[in-house]
Amino acid sequence: MGKARTRRRPRSPRGEGDELRDEILDSAEALLLDAGSMDAVPIRAIADAVGVSPPALYLHFDDKDDLFFAVCERRFEDFERAMIAAGAGIEDPVERLRALGRAYIRYGVERGEHYELLFGPRMVSVAEGRDLSETAGTRAFNLLVDLIAEGVQARRFREVDPYQAAFAVWSSVHGAVMIILAKGGLGDAFPLPAIDALADQICDLVESGLAA
């Protein structure tokens, strides 16, 4: 039998490079979620899924790490939009913090595969050595830093270092999401609380710690 031929994607007309880049990212993400590991997704598999040759991928990405970093950045952009929407129109920093806490935990639990993609150890290693200052993930975190700084200035929160306090708050909600995703349910003897109830309890504790 002859060797199976790979389907080739027709050459994109001028100006359609962004469309091809999006197709590459879509395919890479789908393969990654299916395989469960970046290392289990070869570049050729991504190229075959899109219908291009492997070298065509390198017209858009420096290497495999760069490609998967872009996959992760797209998910962080989605996450950033969710956090912005959650806090929109809420003037009081305390109430906005509570809204963000609920939205964070709901996002992580309802999009478990994507959440684990964002914070998995392999993706963390892909981000090492990169300038993350302008990434969507950093912008999303800075929403929390700025919120706490605003609360301190308005005397709704006590005097704290906004960055350190934001890191502590993030650790709390992130830990809750990871426990829920890892366990799913521990049986009748140790049931997991409802998502919003858990978020509210965490926010109660956070607010008590930040209270002016």
What is the per-residue pLDDT across 151-160, written as a single tens digit (0 to 9) for each? 999 999 999 9
Of the candidates 151, 107, 141, 117, the residue with the CA atom closest to the CA atom of residue 31: 117
For residue 125, what pLDDT is reported? 83
Residues carrying CATH 1.10.357.10, the chain: 72-210
Which residues of the chain carry a pLDDT beneath 50?
1-15
- Percentage, residues of the chain above pLDDT 70: 89
Please tell me the predicted confidence (pLDDT) of residue 7.
44
pTM metric for this prediction: 0.83
- In tens, the pLDDT along 92-128 reads 999 999 999 999 999 999 998 888 888 877 778 888 8
Would you state the pLDDT for residue 173? 93
Q: 12-61 in CATH: which number?
A: 1.10.10
Q: Could you say which of 3.40.50.620, 1.10.357.10, 3.30.110.60, 3.30.420.40 is the CATH number of the domain covering 72-210?
A: 1.10.357.10
* Residue 38 pLDDT: 87
Would you list the DSSP string of 107-166? HHHHTHHHHHHHHSHHHHHHHTTS--TTSHHHHHHHHHHHHHHHHHHTTSB-S--HHHHH
